[in-house]
């Protein structure tokens, strides 16, 4: 047995007989063999999915990290995400090399639950972090401007005003002024509203 040979190397071997100090045979025919390679075990990267941040009605920032890079080059990293109920995973990529990475999603649906997970890809495999979820916020109501402002029941020291509310509001700010003077603002809860002692 030969010990201490070099991995992935071809060797040549031949043998001859020694009968005495003065008597030896010729060399035998030669044989060859190649030692096996010394393969390094694959160390897989460790990927985690962190919680989503900066969540609005239509956007969110996904977060992930590589706790360990492993010993294979990372070719790509990013996130898979989908609507939790009935959605199909879509892929977004992080453009960078930092072990901590993120991606800002936009054009999401308000009041919707989403699922996402971080990933990292090597030449051997794609490795995933744990799945996480987030809910987008409700779409805030659009506060539309009142229309059809009208003044009725005009008296010497008061006036009643009314308007059409297009947003279903429960309060309004009314302001009035005399020509050349500053505005006077009042928050009111009734429509129509009467301005007294003008």
The sign one gets for the Cα dihedral 145, 150, 154, 156 is positive
pLDDT level of residue 97 (50, 70, 90 thresholds): confident
Q: Among 66-75, 119-128, 163-172, 187-196, which range has the highest average pLDDT?
A: 119-128
- How does strand 113-121 pair with strand 76-83? antiparallel
Residue 92: is its pLDDT beyond 90?
A: yes
Higher pLDDT, 118 or 187: 118
Quote the CA–CA distance of 62 and 91 in Å, as a whole number. Answer: 12
pLDDT over 80 at 168, yes or no: no
Does the pLDDT at position 111 exceed 70? yes
Predicted local confidence at residue 188, as pLDDT: 87
Give residue 164's pLDDT band: very low, low, confident or very high (50, 70, 90).
confident
What mean pLDDT, rounded, does the chain reach? 88
Query: Higher-confidence residue: 26 or 77?
Result: 77
Whole-model pTM? Answer: 0.56
Coil, strand or helix at 182: coil
Question: What percent of the chain clears pLDDT 90, i.e. is strictly above it?
Answer: 41
Mean pLDDT of 13-17: 91
């Amino acid at each position: 047995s030969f010990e201490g040979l070099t991995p992935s190397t071809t060797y040549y071997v031949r043998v001859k007989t020694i009968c005495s100090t003065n008597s030896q045979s010729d060399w035998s025919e030669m044989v060859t063999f190649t030692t096996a390679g010394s393969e390094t075990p694959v160390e897989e990267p460790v990927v985690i999915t962190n919680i989503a941040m900066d969540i609005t009605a239509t956007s969110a920032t996904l977060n992930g990290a590589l706790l360990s890079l492993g010993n294979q080059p990372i070719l790509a990293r990013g996130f898979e995400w989908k609507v939790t109920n009935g959605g199909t995973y879509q892929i977004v990529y992080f453009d960078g090399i930092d072990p901590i990475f993120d991606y800002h999603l936009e054009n999401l649906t308000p009041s919707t639950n989403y699922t996402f997970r971080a990933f990292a890809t090597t030449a051997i495999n794609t490795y995933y972090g744990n799945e996480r979820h987030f809910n987008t916020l409700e779409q805030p109501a659009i506060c539309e401007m009142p229309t059809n402002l009208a003044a009725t029941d005009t008296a010497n020291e008061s006036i009643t005003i009314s308007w059409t509310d297009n947003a279903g509001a429960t309060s309004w700010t009314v302001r009035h002024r005399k020509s050349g003077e500053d505005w006077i603002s009042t928050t009111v809860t009734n429509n129509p509203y009467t301005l007294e002692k003008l």
